[in-house]
Amino acid sequence: MDITRVGVIGAGTMGNGIAHVFARSGLSVVLCDVEQRLLDRGLATIAKNLEREVVKNKISADDKAAALGRIAGVVDRARLAECDFIVEVATEKFEIKAEIFHDLDRVTRAEVILASNTSSISITKLGALTQRPEKVIGMHFFNPVPVMKLVEVIRGLATSQETFATVRELAVKLGKTPVEVNDAPGFVSNRVLMPLLNEAMFAVMEGVATAEAVDEVFKLGMAHPMGPLTLADFIGLDVCLDIMRVLQDGLGDPKYRPCPLLIKMVDAGWLGRKSGRGFYTYQ
């Protein structure tokens, strides 16, 4: 099946980036969120980020206008019936994604692939909520989406080879590099990254070093472009906590216990860059 119109569900940090790269590569995009206000914010971010690419001479002003013209923001999920491919990019909560997958199975044509950008939730479980588990797959982009090259393509237990090949090809069309991964809590990226960030938080909580010092160690000693606590703030501390809980529940090993300081900061509403305060403060 030719994919010309893509549905993106969720216009937050990742959803607007994913809509951006689809539209820039010439596909029509139906961007769906629960409130017009959230769509407006997502569309404004896309316009700002496309403008940044114009300033850097990566695209022309006409390309920017054309890409924006290809994105339609909708609150009504029934509009996704027009789409040839869907990627779900909603909040990282199983109940939210479960409701969406259940509904997408009803709203979209039977041949449409339903992908999820989840960071950690089981693709197999999402697939089992539908009548088309062979067409359910993980398509895990990285933040910021217009810049980062990697897409983890995650096979659920029932995902077909045809679905996998279509998504791999789509990722290449977006200028990304797909890497094949099997379904397991956190996949590869977050299985390895999140425990590192969590351990950095334990180091701060136990007074081993300040957040600044931990970050310096990783930047200067391991050539990481940003330290683990800066990265955690960037990802969102609530997202980090959700992922640690998926690792803890899914793998059952106490080494995945979320750091109490992380829990406390999320309880306080200190979610990192997006809330203005996390391990650092932001204007």
| Residues carrying an active site annotation | 119, 140, 152, 190
- Measured from the CB atom, the residue of 65 and 147 that comes closer to ligand NAD is 147
CA angle, 243 then 210 then 13, to 5°? 35
Beta strands in the chain (DSSP E): 5-9, 28-32, 71-74, 85-88, 113-116, 136-140, 150-155, 177-182
Count the Cβ atoms, other than its own, within 10 Å of residue 225.
8
- Measured from the CB atom, the residue of 37 and 161 that comes closer to ligand NAD is 37
Least distance (Å) from ligand NAD to the CB of residue 203? 22
Q: Which positions touch ligand NAD (CB under 6 A)?
A: 9-15, 32-34, 38, 89-92, 96, 100, 117-119, 140, 143, 235-236, 239
Cα separation, 37 vs 105, whole angstroms: 26
Cα separation, 141 vs 17, whole angstroms: 9
| C-beta separation of 66 from 28 below 8 A | no
Instruction: Kindly tell me the sign of the dihedral angle through the C-alpha atoms of 201, 206, 212, 215.
Output: negative
Cα separation, 154 vs 164, whole angstroms: 8
Task: State both tokens at 197.
Answer: 């960030």
The helix/strand count (H/E) of the chain reads as 12, 8
| C-beta separation of 164 from 115 below 8 A | no
Cα separation, 39 vs 12, whole angstroms: 8
- Measured from the CB atom, the residue of 118 and 198 that comes closer to ligand NAD is 118
Angle between helices 61-69 and 13-24 (to 10 degrees): 110
Tokens 């491919």 locate to 85
